[in-house]
Chains A and B, each alone.
Chain A
């Protein structure tokens, strides 16, 4: 089938900010789609609110809109751009939902835009559980017994037919949000009522629980000629009951006979045809009864998904890229397989290795959250590893997680063994390991976990190997055993831990490494080639293993290796992957061969297209060193991948690896509080008083000398992990006892906390001599809130010019002094007239993509060039970069996934993603950013205010402002009295304990349009939390800081005056006077 020629311009909708359940895999799919469509000659218009994506790089699409993903804003873009078609299937559930709304409301018809890939009807059948179930019944496939209910009475009635345990799934929510499994009636009623509440259409599906059944996923591609192929069967290690995003998953399926697999394959083909998804990438989930092989269809995603990204990386078959080409009419057999070049895409990949994905959770940041894994996804990232056997892949994936521990050293409480085996939680693997070490029979473990015995047996073989190791010391370890261990996937580190110490001396990783090398035991690299070596591979997509033949075939070219950032986690996410990709792009342009090392399957960096050579490997010293020795790169870049590669920098350098860019010593100097403090003194740059401590006693002394409150944190972490503001000695002791585990080799840092200060982030480029300031970002929230969680604006709107210049001066001084080559990020705080340096990070920061989008200058690309020795001047940069419009970045939080967790912000970062709002002025830019983050600022209505005593004076102007805008003010007792004393009239509303209707009632009945609520301190924490939770649940804009409230009031004032307009980045940066489309946004 030929490519369609009636389409010229195609709109792609992205997936918005990174949230749990929707991460950078959709940047990967969207980026692939953009590239594929452009290469086929189509004009591409892209919209996404997330600036930290590669897909929003202006060169990827013809027009790039960083605008809210709301129907209003996307229809304004459609009105402006008049695309011929809309590709709704590469932007996750967000992209699909917006597309569906546009189709249903008639916008697409009105502008003559065709939905390609999946038509509205197909999406409806796939997404509507009732339609889907009927469709399955029609084609003779079983689905779980279920019923849709719209109220509690119906729910109670259907229970007898469904039975307990039952799964409750609210309709039309993302990532299983709001659902759960009920084991008793009480729990059932609770989850049903919560689900009814959360579902936008107020309905839930009550479904027979298939807990304990085996779970599989198939990735299906279909073209317009109705050819269908299966890309990969994936088997979940964790059986049904745990969301697949929270499951360890394995490709290909391991425990299915061909008869069973083909039955599933046939079913998948019938499903995609029945549902009517025209062109693939669809994901279909199945459950299989381990007792009799009964096959039940769970669900279908009529779009590319997280699993598609995984399947693409697992097989080398680029699902999203091919899906985009199929959507414009090409047939599978007309598209070549990139990897073999000679064979077509109309085949089913076969693999000769095993792929294991393990999720990564961040529960340590949400102490109040329930870590039980169920049907709602809770993980924030994942790693993937490739090995020739399951054991090897599993162990590689385990060390890719960067937990700082090996399975053997993980802490377990034997008392809780049963509980941790039965209840799936992040710790389950450690308990499984413990049970296997204790020689529990596999049947017993299977009975509790329902994990397939084949997997358990694999783990047992790992444990048995460990036991064999434990019988040896370093001196008497037979090389054959060492080889066998390495072949099974053991790291040098874990071998060192397992070997029996001799003469009281433990064994170090380095000693094992030496032993291994003396015995000539080195990994080889095999290729991921889609075809199990049947055809020659032309794409160096490699993984390590211990076999006989190496296929790396390194070239003699000038080459640079980029170390990636590993699994996404709060504090280290897509922004760093963005920088790594840019380094690869820039260096390729500059004529280098580029080599990427990373283990995160969701990313663009692990696309085999991004760099010349891709090593899908754990980012540990051992694994990186082996690659370096095979490739012998001319330079290795560690400053783009966040803390992960930085933590390796010094060791790599000592081992002779040519680290380019800022020297690891400078990085170390910036992290070393004492040396850095001296440097600042020498440079006459103020810093909050500070000290370091290794034990509680020392901490007390330091804190007493500095004076409370103090900010405490471990060194060498990102995202403010375990960072806290401490007001007294008791809390300090408490902190020291619990936080030391966060980073055992480094001391705790103690800083004077600057109250009522404002923070600024400065990103700068430096070539060792010259410094160019790329951007100064002003935080909206006051100091004390993690910079990643703070809304910020670029350029600053409140700062005094003199102070701004002083910050820039300090930045220049620091850049030169630290001999930064590449990027540098400095955090400043301004208290009264003093500019303090809070910290300096001589590396790419989280804000690099944001500043790049705002300035139109690809900072990471420039930085990469600087690292290879080019100078700023040569690249044409002498002046500080200018920002012409107003760019506001807002964080996005996962609070809606963690019921019961307080939403108050603090020094520990909690946001998973970010969005950007762009406009000519602050008000609209801020409002756009808020809207993109999911908060619609009201233009009128009722504001509820309730603040702590410290904040009361500051509330006054804001309250007056809001009142003058016509808002009705409600306040709790104290706040109301304070306002009244100061001449602002407000109505008193009850707190929860004071009477009914109280504030929670008002929120639930949607009588409130905006909530301003600053934390009241420990005593009434519960009340404040209840209010904030209610706001989250009912998606009412809730603001927890005064400065945030002031910004909101400012934005509302502007919103009442003018409307949103949409404009593309290309236009912003070319400053063309373009025709604006006026867009009305409902208040």
Chain B
């Protein structure tokens, strides 16, 4: 039990409690659909200092179930701000709490693993709250992507650019896609069709895209058997690029296994080594599950990226098929831009595939 002061929407909320170590970017975190079902604890104590604005929305609305910080700012101070965090949370009915020893909470999660929790401003009875936390839904085995995916496909055309530059038709699976991923795909010249998670491979292939993108999304990849089956059908027929949940699904489609990390990686300072170049990227991450590298057939799949903090797998590519994915978030937002190059890599892969129908890109 951590006693604090209610903030944002009064009420009660339950979910898996996770922590994020980014020192700024709270609005992007709140609106990242990957946080669906989770209560997010910010390790940085001051949250809300620069308010909120429309441009920092990563989706239509906040998806986090609840929000925890040491101190929420009572004012916002930034030229970009159009609304203070408190009224923003209220408007979106997000229950939040402040004044708690967030570091103690983080250490608790770190030592015992991500766990379910409840925030309440209406019930202060410890036993009842404990019961509510216990009965909160677990992430394991739960298809959260189907909650957050778009209902209908929608198209976004790439912004006008030099006619000499190549354009691509890319279909993006929305398992909970972030706006900045779309922005980056647009940046490299993709005309996008964003489709619901359940869209079949046949439908996708019938549109003869230049590439398929597998988005990030919340929760456990395993229950998404239908998505894995679709990806298997796409592999080799079209270049595929996956991020985060998309990466885990790719791993499953390659025949690998995924597992739940003790408390996940959430923050903007995770060092990832590109095993092909030897360079270190500082990456934005948000995942609670990972692909087990030992479960992959190393004759077919190459490990391309590794987390230097805990040596977990951060990126793979197929040796013979035009498909690669990363566990982290090259689109950042929030976080460092070190890994933007991966979008350009996707572009090169599509170019090459278009030109030679080359099955694989030697990266």
Q: What are 21 A-B contacts with C-beta separation under 8 Å? A: A225-B278, A225-B279, A225-B280, A254-B46, A260-B78, A261-B24, A262-B336, A265-B336, A266-B337, A344-B309, A350-B23, A350-B44, A351-B23, A352-B106, A389-B70, A457-B73, A533-B103, A534-B110, A535-B110, A549-B101, A549-B107
Contacts of B27 in A (CB 8 A): 257
Segment at the A interface, from B49-57, B245-253, B351-359: B49-57
B24 touches A258 (CB 8 A): yes
A526 at the interface (CB under 8 A from B): yes
* Cα of A526 to Cα of B43 in the assembled complex, Å: 13
Shortest Cβ distance from A227 into B: residue = B280
Indicate if A390 sits at the interface (CB-CB under 8 A).
yes
Contact of B271 among A333, A350, A388, A535 (CB under 8 A): A333
Q: Inside 8 A of B333's CB, which chain A residues have their CB?
A: 258-259
> Which A residues lie within 8 Å of B62 (CB)?
none
Say yes or no: B282 contacts A388, CB within 8 Å.
Answer: no
Kindly list chain A residues whose C-beta atoms are within 8 Å of the C-beta of B101: 547-549
Residues of chain B from 27 to 53 with CB closer than 8 A to chain A in the complex = 27-28, 43-46, 49-50, 53
The answer to whether A259 and B55 have CB atoms under 8 Å apart is yes
Interface contact A255-B280, CB-CB below 8 Å:
no
Q: Which candidate, A289-297, A801-809, A874-882, is the interface stretch facing chain B?
A: A289-297
Q: How far is the CA of A457 from the CA of B273 in the complex (A)?
A: 42
Contacts of A291 in B (CB 8 A): 79
In the complex, whether B334 has a CB less than 8 A from a CB of chain A is yes
- Binary flags per residue of A446-488, CB closer than 8 Å to B gives 1, else 0: 0000001110010001000000000000000000000000000
Q: Quick check: A258 and B335 within 8 Å, CB to CB?
A: yes
Q: B-side binding surface: helix, strand, loop or mixed?
A: loop
Residues of chain B in range 67-86 having any CB-CB distance to chain A below 8 Å: 70-71, 73-80
Taking A343-B309, A350-B21, A547-B101 as contacts, is the C-beta distance between A293 and B271 under 8 angstroms? Answer: no
Residues of chain A lying within 8 A (CB to CB) of residue B335: 258, 262
Chain B residues lying within 8 Å of A551, measured Cβ to Cβ, are: 107
Chain A residues contacting B270 (CB-CB under 8 Å) are: 347
Q: Which A-B residue pairs are the 4 nearest by beta carbons?
A: A258-B25, A549-B104, A258-B334, A532-B43
The CA-CA distance from A388 to B99 in the complex, in Å, is 11
Number of chain B residues whose Cβ lies closer than 8 Å to a Cβ of chain A: 53
A847 to B180, CA, bound (A): 61
Cβ of A956 under 8 Å from chain B: no
A354 within 8 Å of B (CB atoms): yes
Q: Does B308 contact A (CB under 8 A)?
A: yes
The answer to whether B22 touches A533, judged by C-beta atoms less than 8 angstroms apart, is no
* Nearest chain A residue, comparing its CB with the CB of B99: A487
A229–B271 Cα distance when bound, in Å, is: 10
* CA distance in complex: A292, B278 (Å): 39
Q: A256-B50, A262-B332, A390-B46 are known contacts. Are A290 and B104 too (CB-CB below 8 A)?
A: no
A531 to B44, CA, bound (A): 11
B43 neighbours in A (Cβ, 8 Å)? 350, 352, 532-534
Candidate in B269, B278, B332, B333 with the most chain A CB atoms within 10 angstroms: B269
A contact face: mostly helix, strand, loop, or mixed: loop
A-binding residues in B (CB < 8 A): 2, 19, 21-25, 27-28, 43-46, 49-50, 53, 55-56, 70-71, 73-80, 101-104, 106-107, 110, 267-271, 273, 278-280, 282, 308-309, 332-337
Count residues of A near B (Cβ-Cβ below 8 Å): 55
A452 with B77: CB separation less than 8 A: yes
Taking A262-B336, A266-B337 as contacts, is the C-beta distance between A457 and B77 under 8 angstroms?
yes
The answer to whether A255 and B77 touch (CB under 8 A), given A333-B308, A350-B267, is: yes
Contact: A259 with B56, CB < 8 Å? yes
User: Nearest-CB distance from B184 to chain A (Å)?
Assistant: 13
Say whether, besides A262-B335, A343-B309, A352-B44, A257 and B279 are in contact (CB < 8 Å).
no
Evaluate whether A352 and B110 lie within 8 angstroms (CB atoms) in the complex, with A225-B278, A389-B71, A549-B103 already known. Answer: no
On whether the beta carbons of A257 and B56 are closer than 8 Å, the reply is yes
The digit string for A367-388, where 1 denotes a CB below 8 A from any CB of B, is: 0000000000000000000001
A332–B281 Cα gap in the complex (Å)? 11
**Roughly how many angstroms separate A252 CA and B25 CA in the complex, as a whole number?**
13
User: How distant is the Cα of A906 from the Cα of B25 in the complex, in angstroms?
Assistant: 56
Beta-carbon nearest neighbor of A226 in chain B: B279
* Complex alpha-carbon distance, A429 and B273, angstroms: 46
A548 touches B70 (CB 8 A): no
Interface string of A846-886 (1 = CB under 8 A from B): 00000000000000000000000000000000000000000
List A contacts of B269 (CB < 8 A). Answer: 347-350, 531
> Using Cβ atoms and an 8 Å threshold, which residues of chain B touch A193?
none
Instruction: Give min CB distance, A520 to chain B, whole Å.
Output: 15
Taking a contact as CB atoms under 8 Å apart, the answer to whether B79 and A461 are in contact is: no
A65 CB-CB contact with B under 8 Å: no
CA distance A547 to B270 in the complex (A): 27
B308 touches A344 (CB 8 A): yes
Expressed in whole angstroms, the minimum distance between the Cβ of B31 and any Cβ of chain A is 12
Q: Are B280 and A461 in contact (CB under 8 A)?
A: no
Contact of A346 with B by CB under 8 A: yes
A353 within 8 A of partner (CB): yes
- A347 and B282 within 8 A (CB): yes
Q: Which of A227, A526, A533 has the most CB of B within 10 A?
A: A533
